[in-house]
Amino acid sequence: MSLTRSRKRSYSRHAKKSHCKGKRASSCRHASGCKLASGRKRSFCRKSRNVHTRRFKLKGGGCGLAHTGGKRKRRRTRRRTRRRKRRGGVLAGVLQSARTALLPFLLYKGQKRQQRRVRRRTKRRR
Q: With contact defined as beta carbons under 8 Å apart, do 54 and 47 qualify? A: no
- Which pTM was predicted? 0.34
- Domain range for 115 is 94-126
Show the DSSP H helices in the chain as ranges.
5-17, 25-30, 89-125
Secondary structure class of 56 (helix, strand, coil): strand
Provide the pLDDT for residue 118.
93
First to last CA, the chain: 99
Q: What is the DSSP letter of 87?
A: -
Residue 101 and residue 63 in one domain: no
Q: How far apart are CA 1 and CA 86, in angstroms?
A: 52
State whether 63 and 117 are in the same domain.
no
pLDDT along the chain (126 residues), means of 10: 80 80 87 88 84 61 54 67 68 79 90 93 82
In a domain, residue 86? The reply is no
Q: What is the pLDDT of residue 109?
A: 93
